[in-house]
Amino acid sequence: MTTPEVEGLLRDLGPQVLGTLVRRFGGFDTCEDAVQEALLAAATTWPADGLPDNPRGWLVTVAVRRRTELWRNEAARRRREENVAALTPPEPEPVSGVDDTLMLLLLCCHPALTAASQVALTLRAVGGLTTPEIARAFLVPESTVGQRISRAKKSIKGAGFHLPPPEERAERLDAVLHVLYLIFNEGYTATSGTELHRVDLTTEAIRLTRQLREQLPDDGEVAGLLALMLLTDARRPARTRADGALVPLAEQDRRRWDAGQIAEGDALVTATLATAPIGPYQLQAAIAAVHDGAARAEDTDWTEILGLYELLTTVAPGPMVTLNRIVAVAMAHGPGAGLDGLAAAETDPALAGHHRVAAVRAHLLDMAGDHEAAVTHYRLAAAHTDSVPEQRYLEARAAQLTPSEPTVRAP
């Protein structure tokens, strides 16, 4: 087994093992430390010795041993005067085959935490995102995310590991959905690195959302989020060329889109819009369905998309919603209208200086025929993104619009 394969397996198993330990022992922080050490041990041992027959069981066993050592050390520090026999931990239980990932997700969205801390902790513990990745998803400094995670771990120390009652589950649902949404987005368009997609994250987000829908089949927003993920992920096969270069939506070969995912997502959003109160995920899924329903880019109904964005702006305003609405305005009413909206939107601190603002401005200037200004903003956007595929695409667009120097022949 190659190292990348081991890394992928450990990413999948890490949250499951952490969930098992927290359910069995409590003490999120100590359990997380133990699981991290087990993962490090596996990353060193498995490539050399081969994959164990039961990788999850191997990790649980090693993590439990390490957690026991940490528990004994902590107990000894606090209770040195007591009898050593009193420090004996419970006997290890057989490794359960139950996947505790969803339970872990709900624990991370504990009502004792602020919404921001719920999302940050869950992205770290369940999604496996790094602190910089979470910071970029939130458009906040890395130090802020680190503090949120640290405070969250302290707040839920000793919290019970069980499915919350229905009345409490409703309180956690918004944070859970937002977490899954961010995990999916990071996987679909990675904020840094050489790859545009992180399929492990999009797959995990879809899997967890399916599990959530099984428990809450009548919730419109759960269905809407699943529909949004499916309709969006359906385009993934056409989003990159063989060399990994990004292909924008308007230029994609739509024959490569996943028709099965589109059909499932479209059926979900159609059913939930007709039966459930309208929410932001349903509206975003409806927008994705309009895009996916167009056989060609020029067939896209931008007037309908703009209407949906107007409603989304009322239901769930935010900087990215504002930016996407401006694109819809430009496509429906011309680039001048979009540029006017963009100038007003830049007063939002969350958008000021963001590379996507520069990219949108470059695109609209390109549409308007101001190629020289478009080149400037394409290059500005490229300089401010950490995603290599995005950088290459933006630089390529700038190069296409840059007039070549005339060749001077010798007399």
Tell me how far apart the alpha carbons of residues 392 and 381 are, in angstroms, rounded to a whole number: 11
Total domains, the chain: 3
Q: Three-state SS string across the chain, please?
A: CCHHHHHHHHHHHHHHHHHHHHHHHCCHHHHHHHHHHHHHHHHHHHHHHCCCCCHHHHHHHHHHHHHHHHHHHHHHHHCCCCCHHHHCCCCCCCCCCCCCHHHHHHHHCCCCCCHHHHHHHHHHHCCCCCHHHHHHHHCCCHHHHHHHHHHHHHHCCCCCCCCCCHHHHHHHHHHHHHHHHHHHHHHHCCCEECCCCCHHHHHHHHHHHHHHHHHCCCCHHHHHHHHHHHHHHCCHHHCECCCCCECCHHHCCHHHCCHHHHHHHHHHHHHHHHHCCCCHHHHHHHHHHHHHHCCCHHHCCHHHHHHHHHHHHHHCCCHHHHHHHHHHHHHHHCHHHHHHHHHHHCCCCCCCCCHHHHHHHHHHHHHHCCHHHHHHHHHHHHHCCEEHHHHHHHHHHHHHHCCCCCCCCCC
Query: Per the structure block, which two tokens stand in for 90?
Result: 């419970």
Q: Is the pTM of this model over 0.85?
A: no
Q: Are residues 79 and 106 in the same domain?
A: no
Amino acid identity of residue 239, one-letter, is: R
Considering 39, 58, 87, which residue would you say is the last residue of a domain? 87
Please report whether residue 154 resides in a domain. yes
Considering 134, 166, 191, which residue would you say is the last residue of a domain? 191
Q: Which tens digit of pLDDT belongs to each residue from 321-340?
A: 999 999 999 999 999 999 99
- Of the candidates 378, 244, 360, the residue with the CA atom closest to the CA atom of residue 236: 244
pLDDT tens digit at each of 411 positions of the chain: 557 788 878 877 888 888 888 878 877 778 888 888 898 899 888 988 889 989 999 999 999 888 888 777 655 555 544 444 444 454 444 544 455 677 788 888 887 788 788 888 888 888 777 888 888 776 678 999 999 988 888 887 766 556 677 777 776 788 889 889 988 998 888 887 788 888 888 988 898 899 889 878 999 999 999 999 999 999 999 999 988 889 999 999 999 999 999 999 999 999 999 999 999 999 999 999 999 999 999 999 999 999 999 999 999 999 999 999 999 999 999 999 999 999 999 888 888 888 999 999 999 999 999 999 999 999 999 999 988 999 999 999 999 998 765 555 555
Q: Are residues 392 and 343 in the same domain?
A: yes
Tell me how far apart the alpha carbons of residues 258 and 19 are, in angstroms, rounded to a whole number: 33
Please report whether residue 130 resides in a domain. yes
Q: Are residues 82 and 123 in the same domain?
A: no
The phi, psi pair for 386, rounded to 5°, reads -95, 0
Q: Are residues 330 and 372 in the same domain?
A: yes
Please report whether residue 69 resides in a domain. yes
pLDDT value, residue 262: 98
Question: Domain of 63?
Answer: 7-87
Considering 191, 207, 224, which residue would you say is the last residue of a domain? 191
Please report whether residue 78 resides in a domain. yes
Q: How many residues does the chain have?
A: 411
Q: Are residues 53 and 128 in the same domain?
A: no
Q: Which tens digit of pLDDT belongs to each residue from 71-92?
A: 776 555 555 444 444 444 544 4
Please report whether residue 362 resides in a domain. yes
Please report whether residue 175 resides in a domain. yes
Please report whether residue 143 resides in a domain. yes
Q: Are residues 182 and 158 in the same domain?
A: yes
Longest dimension (CA), the chain: 100
